[in-house]
Amino acid sequence: MLNELNRKRGLLLVVCASFIIMVAGCGNNDNTAEKESTASSVAESTEVVSGASISSKPEDVVAGLSADGNWIFAITDDVTLPEDLVVSGTFHDKDDESADVYRKLALYAQDADHKVTAEYTLTVPTMVVESPNFKVENGTVIGNIEVKAEGFTLANSTVEGNVTFDSQELMDSAKLNEGTVTGETAIAE
């Protein structure tokens, strides 16, 4: 019943976000920083709750984070994968080729005001990160993470396992200070 309620809330958020984007697009061209920020946040929320980029099915998680997947993937409940997960491919923020290279795994739900309302756990033996600028936001990853690409980020998230980088350069490019790693953070030998 709780999952059904969350799905209905997600659908409502998509409808509301789409309406806001449509109304914003019909306005005048006086774009202030605040309007741009709001539109960006709404667009990101719309991506999180729309299409194939959101699921709690293990097969969808694997496909969504593959080279043929999406720039953002959100899970809607705790997920356990029996095999290693490879995050691969190069993506751009909001699938905009002119935007920065960026990829995100959202382990949370949020309300219309972007307040986190639930956090989820992804359990996996090992997550192998091959996508540059990959960000794990909120929630928990239970398992080890091997980082093979630059710009890995933990944002308000926890890794219950080890994080191993292929090189010192990859470790130096990572941003782990907003997250927690309960195991070791090291460079592969």
CB 149 within 8 A of CB 162: no
Cα separation, 181 vs 77, in Å, equals 21
pLDDT at position 22: 37
Cα separation, 46 vs 55, in Å, equals 14
C-alpha dihedral (133, 139, 141, 146), degrees to nearest 10: 10
Residue with tokens 């907003």: 178
Enclosing H/E stretch for 53: none
Sequence-distant (6+) residues with CB within 8 A of 33 are: none
Question: Which is nearest to 50 in space by CA: 13, 23, 19, 79?
Answer: 13
Enclosing H/E stretch for 187: strand 185-187
Per-position pLDDT tens, the chain of length 189: 444 444 445 544 444 444 333 333 444 444 434 333 333 333 344 444 333 489 999 999 999 999 999 999 999 999 999 999 999 999 999 889 999 999 999 999 999 999 999 999 999 999 999 999 999 999 999 999 999 999 999 999 999 999 999 999 999 999 999 999 999 999 998
Indicate left, alpha or beta for 180 from its phi (over 0: left) and psi (-120 to 50: alpha): beta
pLDDT at position 33: 40
For the whole model, what pTM was predicted?
0.73
| Cβ-based neighbour number of residue 129 at 10 Å | 26
